[in-house]
Structure 1
């Protein structure tokens, strides 16, 4: 199995590029009077930043938090890329990011992203988390937290509040689109809890095996193979692989699972800005138990890599709804790794990925073979809600016919 990068790839995935750091307040000269000039003729981004900092120092009325100001300069650089997935992470934010893939953290239990119109949108709630139990759904818009509105450019601040202290209550105002296309406003009270995340769960439904992957973390491949082999030992006649509300995660974990399931050949192709291609390959070993894959609008990124590969190899019937459509790869690494004197990290979109048959996913998603929508009033799904889970019912029906 060929690895495209030496660094760990994530789907929210990161390799930092060599970026020069800003040194605020240096290399400027202030003349007499109010005029501020630069001591060189080259008006580039660095010198202009120094000039503006000098204006702030000289005239701003209130106290300045130098650390916050500097962080916001770095964040502004990436915001100018107009890419919600590229950003500068402070030391604290980077620590939180690493925690989210380790399998245990605290919070309300939702994966969120920023929309093109600068809103914070729910990709998916974590099953059995406080947000899940409170009825938060994919595509909900988080409008306000504890009475304060949070647009997309305040994503990190919003995340910090929702990852507060154990037992804290968080009051959310959710905007949810109704059947007419308008947005209803919903008040939700959620308690922050420690969340230990097992990313794979399995169950036997009649003579069929059910596998749900909630996200692709550090231990997902091991959890998946353990559960898959356990189902095989119970002589199941088919496997239902549930990727609904799976927002992605570590590309490496996803590729390992694809390699485990698929025959020899390409799994995913990634292409960078210079048209350089990297291809992850599967070996000749494969699994041949009949399979149905369940997807919805919360199935994103690494979930779409796995779904797209399975569909291209016709290894399963895809049932449910069109996936999210995030077909770009981010890479993340500490700034110090590249000689930048900073405790934070850089997350940057560096590649686009394509299915084995070279199909584009970004802003398109993966279309199911059999489209089935859950009723609008259905919040929960899975074996415990089989009476109302129309997508799971269809998967069972397909496998029992084979």
Structure 2
């Protein structure tokens, strides 16, 4: 027979089990019905065992947080993640293009290494001399080689005015450097436009990512450049990891005529067509792409290639042809789920395949891409883009 205190502990545990199981029941059993009741029962028993016998003790929020994260992790989809309040805030800041940090964009090429894709102009990292290709090995005292990229990025971010120290390895000089930095408010301009050095009749436009304001930024850049005075355009999407879907459609509207840009297909086979608005520039142009042009940048490149309005130069793109949706949860948390795939205007699925350029050009060994060049020393891909465009300009 249970004593009064035992009864209180018993009902406390039962209440926790019921609370956790009700959440899991809604998510899991709602889809699989009675067939998975035994599995839910197993989960309830594990919760009870942890509460009753685990040495360190736990709380209900801790178990619910772990169960929620575990459900998403079990999908084995690197693009579907549960985000706690801090991680969710950081993601929203990234989408909006504003956050506190040091101003480093990390390469997607090797998920097991923190390789600097490039420092953001005028950021603390750029001012401190951090270079493309630097490998970040430590963040303060944390071994950066032993944690996921998203966690490493979170460690580098923080309130403006706070300090962080990076240890980097520079392959070009075989040096290990310690770089102390003070975080600043980073506002990431996603579009940069200028006359191509040595080619006053060619407009060079670099888009580094697709944030919620990128389409408006592009409009402002085109207006400030007076794009009508240029004979042709080079659009640089190299190292653009993507971003917001509607921003990609807005950008594509400048480079394809009204009509389909991308088809979004959900898990039921339902298709939504995203179409270009009537903003087509109608000028000869070339698009630079490479192995790190991904997601939203592939939407733009795929639309241009299928619609035949421009020429793609470079190497095959990354191959991320799926769409994530962010669902806001309670207490500032969220879950980002892969909810659809996208198809190019010719209904081609490019996921894990990438987009082949019209003109294949690789960078030479040891050659760096000249993004937003300041002189006439162009990399091999940009040089070829100029050559192709010159053949199109009348």
What TM bracket, shorter-length normalisation? 0.7 to 0.9
CA distance in 1: counterparts of 2:301 and 2:95, whole angstroms: 21
Classify the secondary structure of the residue corresponding to 1:25.
Answer: helix
Q: 1:347 to 1:259 in 2, by over 3 A?
A: same
Distance of 1:278 and 1:49 partners within structure 2? 38
Q: Please give the residue correspondences for 1:93-104 in structure 2 after superposition, counting only pairs within 5 Å.
A: 93-104=87-98
The correspondence of residues 17-36 of structure 1 with structure 2, limited to 5 A, is 25-27=16-18
Match of 2:208 in 1: 214
TM-aligned CA distance change 1:213 to 1:265, over 3 Å: same
2:339 to 350, 354, 361: 350
The whole-number CA distance in structure 2 between the counterparts of 1:200 and 1:227 is 7
Classify the secondary structure of the residue corresponding to 2:339. strand
**Alignment-derived partner of residue 391 in structure 2:** 401
Bigger drift between 275-284 and 265-274 goes to 275-284
CA contact (8 A) 1:84 1:114 kept: no
Matched length: 354
Provide the residue aligned with 1:333 in structure 2: 327
Q: Deviations over 1:50-107 (max 9, x none)?
A: 3223322333333546544432321111111000111111122111111112222122
> Residue 152 of structure 1: CA displacement?
8.4
Contact 1:301/1:327 (8 A) holds in 2: yes
CA spacing shift, 1:156–1:262, aligned 2, 3 Å: closer
1:308 aligns with 2:302: yes
- Structure 1 match to 2:164: 169
Q: Is the 8 A contact 2:313 2:385 kept in 1?
A: yes
Partner residue of 1:200 out of 188, 191, 204: 191
- From 98, 103, 106, the equivalent of 1:109 is 103
**CA distances 1:191-247 after superposition (whole Å, capped 9, x unpaired):** 344321111111012211111111111211111012223334561111111111111
1:124, distance to aligned residue in structure 2 (A) = 4.2
Structure 2 equivalent of residue 261 of structure 1: 255
8 Å Cα contact 1:110-1:122 kept in structure 2 = no
Question: Which of residues 301, 316, 323 in structure 1 aligns to 2:317?
Answer: 323
Q: Which has the larger radius of gyration?
A: 2
Structure having the larger proportion of residues in helix: 2
CA contact (8 A) 1:122 1:142 kept: yes
What does residue range 1-400 of structure 1 map to in structure 2 within 5 Å? 25-27=16-18, 44-62=38-56, 64=58, 67-111=61-105, 119=112, 124-125=117-118, 127-128=120-121, 129=123, 133-137=129-133, 145-149=139-143, 154-165=148-159, 166-172=161-167, 189=179, 191=181, 192-205=183-196, 206-233=200-227, 235-283=229-277, 286-336=280-330, 342-379=331-368, 381=370, 382-384=372-374, 386-400=376-390
What's the RMSD between the two structures over aligned residues? Answer: 3.3
Determine helix, strand or coil for the equivalent of 1:311.
helix
**What runs of 5+ residues in structure 1 fail to find an aligned partner?**
1-22, 29-40, 179-183, 337-341
Aligned partner of 1:6 in structure 2 is none
Deviation at 1:135, TM superposition (A): 2.3
Q: For residues 319 and 154 of structure 1, do their structure 2 counterparts lie closer, same or farther at Cα, with a shift above 3 Å needed?
A: closer
Secondary structure class of the residue paired with 1:207:
strand
Residue 386 of structure 1 and its aligned partner are, at CA, apart by 4.1
Higher relative contact order (CA 8 A, sep 6+): 1
Task: Give the TM-score of the pair, scaled to structure 2.
Answer: 0.78
